[in-house]
């Protein structure tokens, strides 16, 4: 059997997120990053979990199509949507919008839908999951919310708080089956998917 046939499939992260890249690096396996070019606007009447799952699959498919003919690859697509009281929360982008988000969420439970897709570029096989994380925010005054934002500037995070950093001080409780899901990439689910796809996960760890 040729040596090349024994090689594991190429692993590709279809994302522009530095947080997802950092999470995937924890597995100590080789991977490439390809940024998908898709429209991430929610569809009319689409539920938040539907948006997250659709976009996770769309990202993976877009990258798989772009790399067609380059051999087998396992493409990871992920998307996260946060909601409270039926309101969808996006990335704030500015200090003012981030402060408004935190003011609206204080004392409330926020649900983070972290969708994940693993697509086999050759077989077309797709595995998906929506990991739900329930987060209760503390009821903190504006002065502390403003101080947090100026310290960590989490303007590229849905919900305006980095649970892996100082943002943990804003949270009263987290309920999840996958602790990395809140940061943006559910690693427990991903490793399950990779093993199911036949990827030699631990053998490839470096």
Query: How buried is residue 150: exposed, middle or buried, by Cβ count under 10 Å (0-12/13-18/19+)?
Result: exposed
pLDDT category, 4, cuts 50, 70, 90?
very low
Measured distance CA(42)–CA(143) in Å, rounded:
33
pLDDT category, 5, cuts 50, 70, 90?
low
User: Which domain, by its residues, includes 106?
Assistant: 3-204
Residue 2: pLDDT over 70:
no
- Known catalytic residue at 79: yes
> What is the per-residue pLDDT for 205?
79
Residue 192: pLDDT over 50:
yes
CATH number at residue 76: 3.90.950.10
Query: How buried is residue 139: exposed, middle or buried, by Cβ count under 10 Å (0-12/13-18/19+)?
Result: exposed
Question: Which stretches within the chain are classed as H helix?
Answer: 18-25, 48-66, 95-105, 142-152, 187-196
Residue 1: pLDDT over 50:
no
The catalytically annotated residue of 70, 79, 139, 177 is: 79
Q: How many structural domains is the chain composed of?
A: 1
Residue 9 DSSP class: P
């Amino acid at each position: 059997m040729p040596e090349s046939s024994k090689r594991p499939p190429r692993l590709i992260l279809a994302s522009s997120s530095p947080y997802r890249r950092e999470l995937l690096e924890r597995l100590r396996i080789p991977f490439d990053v390809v940024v998908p070019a898709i429209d991430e606007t929610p569809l009319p009447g689409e539920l938040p979990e539907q948006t997250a799952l659709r976009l996770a699959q769309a990202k993976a498919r877009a990258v798989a199509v772009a790399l067609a003919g380059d051999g087998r690859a396992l493409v990871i697509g992920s998307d996260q949507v946060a909601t409270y009281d039926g309101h969808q929360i996006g990335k704030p982008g500015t200090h003012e919008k981030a402060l408004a988000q935190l003011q609206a969420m204080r004392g409330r439970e926020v649900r983070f839908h972290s969708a994940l897709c693993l697509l086999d570029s050759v077989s077309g096989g797709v595995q998906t999951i929506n990991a739900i994380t329930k987060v209760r925010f503390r009821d903190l005054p504006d002065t502390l919310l403003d101080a947090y934002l100026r310290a960590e500037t989490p303007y590229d995070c849905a919900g305006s708080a980095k649970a892996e950093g100082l943002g943990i001080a804003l949270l009263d409780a987290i309920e999840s089956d996958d602790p990395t899901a809140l940061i943006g990439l559910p690693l427990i689910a991903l490793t399950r998917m990779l093993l199911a796809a036949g990827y030699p996960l631990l053998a490839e760890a470096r």
